[in-house]
Amino acid sequence: MGESVAAHSGCLIFTQPYMPTQYRVECAPGTFLNRWGLFNPILPSASGRGFKSSSFGPISLFMANTTLHDRALIRLSGEDVRGFLQGLVTNETAGNLPVWAALLTAQGKALFDFLIWGDEDDILIDCERDAAEALAKRLTLYRLRRAITIAPEPGLAVHWAPEGDLGVVDPRLPELGQRWLAPDGEGEGADAAWHAHRLALGVTEGRAELGDGTTLWLECNAAELNGVSFTKGCYVGQENTARMNWRQKVNRRLVVVPIAEADTKRQVVAYPELGWSVEHRRVEGIDVAGAPAWLREGLAAGS
């Protein structure tokens, strides 16, 4: 699975064996792909000790088959944005990013799920495009008088590939593939391929599947998919989430089952064109042997 790199008139041409197209990256001298999957130029630090990545530079990136057009980015900048989110969301924001996390109701039910990326002192929230405005408004309510700006980031897009070397491994599950942030790509995008790939692995996301304040976060398989920290301090919905984990009793789970095995009474959403049904089932009604490997231990503990 290697990648080949060739230089042409100041440009780099990246080719990946699993993709039918070439990635053409036109960049200023010193541009690099940093560890967050962001294409940034390198500039000397103010102190002269080493280097730091600046804001996004003069880069023209064409990745027509990797852009997730159904995703949007919200940028948080200003006073201690990591600390601000640390007291709101389910996962650690002070450590390594990206992480998968959620904003919950006081009862511990999922309102929004998203990935959190770091860009120097700023935070970028990778969320559903249809939910971006509502999420930004909710975060603004919690901001109060903090000197924090919460706004869309139109200059970047979320990119995905099922495998390869670009970006970083999805923090939920390695099999989900590679993810990175870069300028938008023209063309159809990768949304359909991502949707089918994710459901085939039994992973749910978004309000259509997780519900809008109707499903407890641990019932969304958050513990198994690295979407919650049980060692961080308080956040909205933490009390009930921590209590469920301490009791090791998650009575229901979101599962993806073949459409032929669908239970319409438990169905949350169906994808007949893909052959899958997302359902909210009691644990005793789930076939553990037929569940994804990453979920089996959690199901066994809750049965």
Query: pLDDT tens across 76-86, in order?
Result: 999 999 999 99
How many of the other CB atoms lie within 10 Å of CB of 294? 17
Dihedral sign of CA atoms 32, 29, 151, 93 in order: positive
Question: What b-and-e string marks burial along 227-266, b requiring 16 or more CB atoms within 10 Å of the CB?
Answer: bbbeebeebbbbebbbebeeeeebebbbbbbeeeebeeeb
Reported for 94-97, long-range contacts at CB under 8 A and 24+ positions apart, including other chains, are 97/36
Long-range Cβ contact pairs of 1-8 (< 8 A, separation 24 or more): 1/163, 1/164, 1/165, 2/165, 3/164, 3/165, 3/166
Confidence of residue 135 (pLDDT cuts 50, 70, 90): very high
pLDDT at 301 (0 to 100) = 75
- 77, 167 contact by CB (below 8 A): no
pTM, entire model = 0.81
Question: How far is residue 92 from each of residues 39, 84, 232, measured CA to CA in Å?
Answer: 24, 11, 7
Higher pLDDT, 10 or 141: 141
pLDDT value of position 64: 56
Query: Cα dist. 24→4, 15, 18, 66, 273 in Å?
Result: 12, 9, 16, 13, 33
Nearest one of 148, 169, 298 to 224, comparing CA atoms: 298
Each residue's pLDDT tens digit, 214-241: 999 999 999 999 999 999 989 999 999 9
First to last CA, the chain: 40
Tell me the backbone φ, ψ of residue 73, rounded to 5 degrees.
Answer: -120, 135
Residue holding tokens 């940034």? 40
The pLDDT of 251-279, averaged and rounded, is: 97
Q: Counting Cβ atoms within 10 Å, is residue 219 exposed (0-12), middle (13-18) or buried (19+)?
A: buried
Q: Is residue 44 packed enough to be buried (19+ CB in 10 Å), middle (13-18) or exposed (0-12)?
A: exposed
* pLDDT tens digit sequence for 18-71: 233 333 333 443 334 443 344 443 222 333 222 233 333 323 334 558 999 999
For 157-185, b/e burial (b = at least 16 CB within 10 A) is bbbbbeebebbbebbbbebbbbbbbbbbb
